[in-house]
Structure 1
């Protein structure tokens, strides 16, 4: 799961995404998401917001040489990096595109997913509706996003911990509580909701948490904007490295299936 990406410079985005994916919570939920998609040889699978292509090779292996994997991202740097990383997989193609208006034909893919993408979009509902449009009847969609409104960081200064978490929700992440909405978004778009799961990503090591949550960068952004007192925030940051560390956030995944058309009553009688 990502830390608020808007606190990072564009040049740092790829390194950050790689760090998040390689963390213990990142590896764990990515395995779960890949399993839930139930990829089969010959499938066509769509990864919306593919970033630097972190997960495209695993999908390529799952669908085999007769399958196809399409990665879409709005960032030209991410598209270029994803193409470079998947050059050895002829079944993978990567293109620029908007999650709100996918460059795909109706009912053209068997599987699709968004991984930590909806939290950043202007209209998550429209993006999920686009997934409904492009996935074939019987096909599956997997959505994954954190719910930043559940973020908890232990510190003696609980007031600053709470103010820091409120800042993320109110000022940093566009759709901070999107995780809890995933099942409803699928239902509203016309999917059959197959499963909704919640897991707690917990960090007991400060360095691992910092690589994903970026506490110093976010706190600096907060005091520069007046949301935190700088002296209190600096003292709070220092305290996080002094003694046992604990941070946790709830991460949601939801699986939807496109309904198959029902046979007409007349057809069922024949």
Structure 2
């Protein structure tokens, strides 16, 4: 994930975390990549980007490299995938998981990429811009490095869409108010603003797909939603004493009764760089 200044989520600056938290975040990235709902989001993004053999693609904010390696399988030996992440720890983890596909792992800031103009045929940027101060500057940089006619696919979360059922509504609102800007970035509306931002950047052929992720158990939700994950250390919660435990007890009770529900919309928006 790329750096942020406005928010203080654990993904904002992974290299600044304690060893325990860094390992937790790396594990979270891996678990999320395997989650059926995140895979459903990625299928929509894959169709929007439409990678092809021989292309050079950029995965901006590439995490542990799962998507980069999948894209490399599509571009083949004549193509290349540049996997760029701001975190050196995450990049090292990605290198450690490399599968000999045609992926080049780099560290860098999505707002100031060390790449030439018109260098790549397409861009994948997943759940990154919500953590970046200056998202439009980052989008302009992605446009700069993409050749005319190339495709840019942005995937990001609309945290304002997050909703729960099965627990006391009032308690959920209190918890979300405390964790906003901590577990969830202050740029909570990023997902639904992507289309507007690509229009402003001059892209054409826009597609915009809202993918509503459904979680019907606390265990499933905890992979993506830190506020229902009991493994997140208590000191990481920005809540008054006792509120975390009360909330998690209600989450457990809803799970035991089969009434737990959480929904979250992630947007997949793509467009073509003008010729």
TM-score, structure 2 as length reference: 0.85
Gaps spanning 5+ residues in structure 1: where?
A: 261-270
1:169 is matched with 180
| C-alpha distance 171-83 of structure 1, shift in aligned 2 (>3 A) | closer
C-alpha distance in 1, partners of 2:54/2:244?
55
Superposition pairs of residues 54-73 of structure 1, within 5 angstroms: 54-73=66-85
CA contact (8 A) 1:202 1:247 kept: yes
Instruction: Give the match for residue 21 of structure 2.
Output: 9
Do the aligned partners of 1:163 and 1:227 also contact (CA within 8 Å) in 2? Answer: no
Aligned residues: 256
Distance 1:51 1:160, change over 3 A: same
Question: 2:38 and 2:245 mapped to 1: Cα distance?
Answer: 32
* Structure 2 equivalent of residue 255 of structure 1: 270
CA displacement 1:38-82 (0-9 Å, x = unmatched): 111110100000011011121111111111110000111111122
Distance 1:249 1:198, change over 3 A: same
- How far apart in 2 are the matches of 1:152 and 1:31? 23
- Pair 1:182 & 2:197 matched: no
- Shift in Å, 1:220: 4.4
**Partner residue of 1:208?**
220
Partner SS for 2:123: strand
Given that 1:60 and 1:92 are in contact with CA atoms closer than 8 Å, whether structure 2 keeps it comes out as: yes
Counterpart CA distance in 2 for 1:169 and 1:137 is 38
Question: In 2, Cα distance between the equivalents of 1:178 and 1:227?
Answer: 31
Using the alignment, how far apart are the partners of 1:222 and 1:79 within structure 2? 24
Equivalent residues of 2:223, 2:229 under 8 A apart:
no
* Alignment partner, residue 132 of structure 1: 143
Q: Find the counterpart in structure 2 of residue 265 from structure 1.
A: none
Please show how residues 125-164 of structure 1 align to structure 2 within 5 Å: 125-164=136-175
Structure 2 residues without counterparts, runs of 5 or longer? 1-8, 12-16
Aligned equivalents of 1:224, 1:46: Cα separation in 2: 35
Structure 2 distance, partners of 1:11, 1:227, is 26
Give runs of aligned pairs for residues 217-228 of structure 1, distance below 5 A.
217=230, 220=234, 224-226=238-240
Contact 1:167 1:222 in 2 (8 A): no
- Say what the alpha-carbon RMSD is for the aligned residues: 2.3
1:107 corresponds to which of 100, 118, 137: 118
Partners of 1:110 and 1:129 in 2: how far apart?
A: 15
CA drift at 1:236: 2.7
Distance 1:210 1:152 in 2: 14
Q: Is the 8 A contact 1:14 1:78 kept in 2?
A: yes
Q: Highest CA radius of gyration, 1 or 2?
A: 1
